[in-house]
Structure 1
Amino acid sequence: MKKIKICLISDTVFDVNGVSRFIQDFSKEAIFFEKEFTVITSTSKGTEEEFPNIVNFKPIFRMRMPFYKSLDLVLPPFFKIKKKIKELKPDLLHISTPGTVGLCALISAKLLKIPVAGIYHTDFPAYMYKNTKNAFVRWGTIKFLKLFYSPYKALFSRSDEYFKTLKEQLGFVDEEIYLLKAGINIESFDKSFKDETIWDPYNFDKNRFKVLYVGRISVEKNVHKLLDIWQKGKFENCQLILVGDKELNKEIKDESITYLGRKRGKELSKVYASSDCFIFPSTTDTLGQVVMEAMSSALPVIVTNKGGPKTFVNSDFGYIVDINNYDEVIKAINELSNDKEEYLAKKEKAYLFMRDMSISHSFLDFWQKNEEILEKLRSLK
């Protein structure tokens, strides 16, 4: 089979979120497996690591993204992006975000006659509705996405939970939808990173049962509901730990709740491994990479009955709950914090489950499926 070149375009590459970590990990895997894979973005943000196959163009203008304050909305340099794509001569252009950088790539692909595919990372219609509570905004978002994705020859989903959405909302057919095998960097998230001294700067008893959440502290992630549940449950000997950018206006004053702010790299790995369980109240994530990072760190998990995480979480190592049913969530936390035998069993099973979910498996699956997509497109010429 002919060697292929893939260029991936994304609005988020150096941000502190699961999608950025996913793209950075894929970039490393491409180098390791000697694949011709280049990422293009436009951001004023940087990273401590060097990525020889990530090209970042300084934006002409930037501002905070409405409803997503930790992301920038940028005006990217269109002609520089188009010139770079032309220079790379990719067989396939992968556009992973429907933002301004993604739009530049889409126009460039049309002008340069390069086929387009992509990855559906976020349920944007649900995301926008969560933030605005406006059905018209949700309808408008669906219409925009349908138009944006209409030139795509293939679309990857990170869980089969969203296959129906891609067909009904975006107009894709079964033959155009591909499942991207779930995977994370299991070497970066492992129980070996456990380090109780990481809690020394914080004012709580380290012996308390530590319930961790990682992600944006925001409405669309349902963190406001988690906080309400926590205060209603009055959990004894438990500490809720929140990691991520705080976008909620609600002030956190409860002594049993600790807000750590943004964490990354080895410090984040230590926070995961040194916690006791993980809770993820979001219903709009197509996969929930943070859930997998927690499981890889040997944490039992509590996820909701809507969205991507429920497709791989089971009772062996976690709980699937209705986030609107406070009693279900309270029961799950109490069982984990009070039943040591059950807790230890779930902890070990979570860790073992993730041993076969490496980012290498995910990347090679992605590459093979893109080879299939290109073979199919060539056969239609």
Structure 2
Amino acid sequence: MTRITIVTDAWYPQINGVVRSIENTNRELARMGVEVSMITPQGFSSIPCPTYPEIRLSVATYASVAREIEAFGPCSVHIATEGPLGLLARRWCLKNNMPFSTSYHTRFPEYVAARFPIPIRWLRAFVRWFHNAGNGCMVATASLERELARLGLRNLCRWSRGIDQALFRPMPQEAEPFGLPRPIFMTVSRLAIEKNISAFLSLDLPGSKVVVGDGPERANLERQFPDVHFTGMKTGEDLARAYAQADVFVFPSLTDTFGNTILEALASGVPVAAYPVTGPIDIIGDRSGAGALNEDLQAACLAALSCSREDARRLAECYSWQAATRQFLENVMSICHAGKLHHLSQDPR
């Protein structure tokens, strides 16, 4: 049986794209007969991340991480994040000649630079150092792959994303959802500075604006935009019902590497408005009819009102977690094989 250890600093109780991607991938890997062990912050003491206390930083030792990997005996290790656990697992893999892959889920340099006075060139150098040590770095889209290649990252390979098309689906629309007049412009997001939510909320749009989600910026946004309806966090069927009531899904982020919520909205039959950046440009493109991209986000929102809900759902049907997980597993097995061949070529015997 194939055995893979996945190491991530992002895990429950966080709800974000990294957590959802790994959760869905693990479910599909189990169906494929792959055994997975997880190393997450839940297994260690932790401290709150400065400026973002909802994120917990693990206080782990090299020995404790090494014990967990060695006890499971994987054929390969996948490191999902550049945090404390990721760093310790990277060190163990290099010390023990274990083939390992990484993934680039978050624009780490921009994310950190928005919170701390660290030169972005130092952070980009760290990203190169972290990911280039592995046998492969998985990225979700073609545009991100080109961008990272320009920054000097090597061994890039594709790992797309999927969507639960049974949960997120078109549903009958209410005349006044949330007690608000239509059209409903909605975003679903962690409410954090890097998500650029205020760019959406400051737009002059007809109808109503709805924000689903929670995070450290929520109180500031509620004070700044008292006419916006904030629902708080929703999950499962409640989240699916909320999506289905939107007329346009607005994705204002300039820093995401994919945008899982874009797929959730599309699967719900909701056209998307976004900037033409990595993620939206890869999913929506300029010919799908499922949304509108524009450097002027207001223009994108108004154009998306005329887009087809049927085209939105049709585009989402191109994405499945089964296909994305096959891609992940193929990457892991290829990396594992290449890493072992390299190790044998370096063996002086």
TM-score (normalizing by structure 2): 0.88
2:195 aligned residue (216, 221, 239): 221
CA contact (8 A) 1:198 1:270 kept: no
Alignment of 1:208 onto 2:190:
no
Unaligned runs of 5+ in 2: 345-349
- The 5 Å alignment of 1:1-381 reads 4-14=2-12, 15-43=14-42, 57=43, 59-63=44-48, 65-76=49-60, 78-131=62-115, 136-169=118-151, 171-173=152-154, 176-192=155-171, 196=174, 199=177, 202=178, 204-205=179-180, 207-229=181-203, 233=204, 235-236=205-206, 238-248=207-217, 249-252=220-223, 254=225, 256-315=227-286, 316-322=289-295, 328-337=296-305, 342-343=306-307, 346-380=308-342, 381=344
* Structure 1 Cα separation of the partners of residues 17 and 192 of structure 2: 15
* Structure 2 Cα separation of the partners of residues 250 and 241 of structure 1: 12
User: CA shift at 1:198, angstroms?
Assistant: 11
Shift in alpha-carbon separation, 1:88–1:190, aligned structure 2, 3 A: same
User: CA shift at 1:379, angstroms?
Assistant: 3.3
Worse overlay, 220-229 or 287-296: 220-229
Deviation by residue 1:279-303 (Cα, 9 ceiling, x = unmatched): 1111111111111111111110011
Shift in alpha-carbon separation, 1:360–1:106, aligned structure 2, 3 A: same
* Structure 2 Cα separation of the partners of residues 112 and 197 of structure 1: 61
* Structure 2 Cα separation of the partners of residues 128 and 41 of structure 1: 21
Which AA in structure 2 matches 1:178?
C
* Structure 2 Cα separation of the partners of residues 127 and 313 of structure 1: 24
Deviation by residue 1:119-165 (Cα, 9 ceiling, x = unmatched): 11011112233445x5x431221122222224211100011212233
Shift in alpha-carbon separation, 1:61–1:247, aligned structure 2, 3 A: closer
* Structure 2 Cα separation of the partners of residues 357 and 151 of structure 1: 30
Shift in alpha-carbon separation, 1:376–1:77, aligned structure 2, 3 A: closer
Task: Show the counterpart of 1:52.
Answer: none
Task: Show the counterpart of 1:51.
Answer: none
Task: Show the counterpart of 1:46.
Answer: none
Deviation by residue 1:174-205 (Cα, 9 ceiling, x = unmatched): xx11011332222232224x574995xx5x33
Which AA in structure 1 matches 2:131?
Y
Worse overlay, 361-370 or 249-258: 249-258
Worse overlay, 11-20 or 77-86: 77-86
* Structure 1 Cα separation of the partners of residues 198 and 53 of structure 2: 17
User: CA shift at 1:319, angstroms?
Assistant: 0.9
Deviation by residue 1:19-53 (Cα, 9 ceiling, x = unmatched): 1111111111112121122222123xxxxxxxxxx
User: CA shift at 1:111, angstroms?
Assistant: 3.7
Which AA in structure 2 matches 1:225?
A
User: CA shift at 1:101, angstroms?
Assistant: 1.5
SS in 2 for 1:263: coil
Shift in alpha-carbon separation, 1:13–1:113, aligned structure 2, 3 A: same
User: CA shift at 1:372, angstroms?
Assistant: 2.0
* Structure 2 Cα separation of the partners of residues 168 and 253 of structure 1: 38
* Structure 2 Cα separation of the partners of residues 369 and 198 of structure 1: 47
Which AA in structure 2 matches 1:299?
V
* Structure 1 Cα separation of the partners of residues 45 and 215 of structure 2: 27
Which AA in structure 2 matches 1:160?
A
Which AA in structure 2 matches 1:60?
S
* Structure 2 Cα separation of the partners of residues 282 and 154 of structure 1: 27
User: CA shift at 1:250, angstroms?
Assistant: 4.0
Q: How many corresponding residue pairs?
A: 338
* Structure 2 Cα separation of the partners of residues 103 and 212 of structure 1: 37
Which AA in structure 2 matches 1:99?
G
Shift in alpha-carbon separation, 1:79–1:182, aligned structure 2, 3 A: same
Task: Show the counterpart of 2:347.
Answer: none
TM-score (normalizing by structure 1): 0.81
User: CA shift at 1:78, angstroms?
Assistant: 4.2
* Structure 1 Cα separation of the partners of residues 266 and 57 of structure 2: 32
Shift in alpha-carbon separation, 1:88–1:197, aligned structure 2, 3 A: farther
SS in 1 for 2:195: coil
SS in 1 for 2:255: coil
* Structure 1 Cα separation of the partners of residues 86 and 339 of structure 2: 22
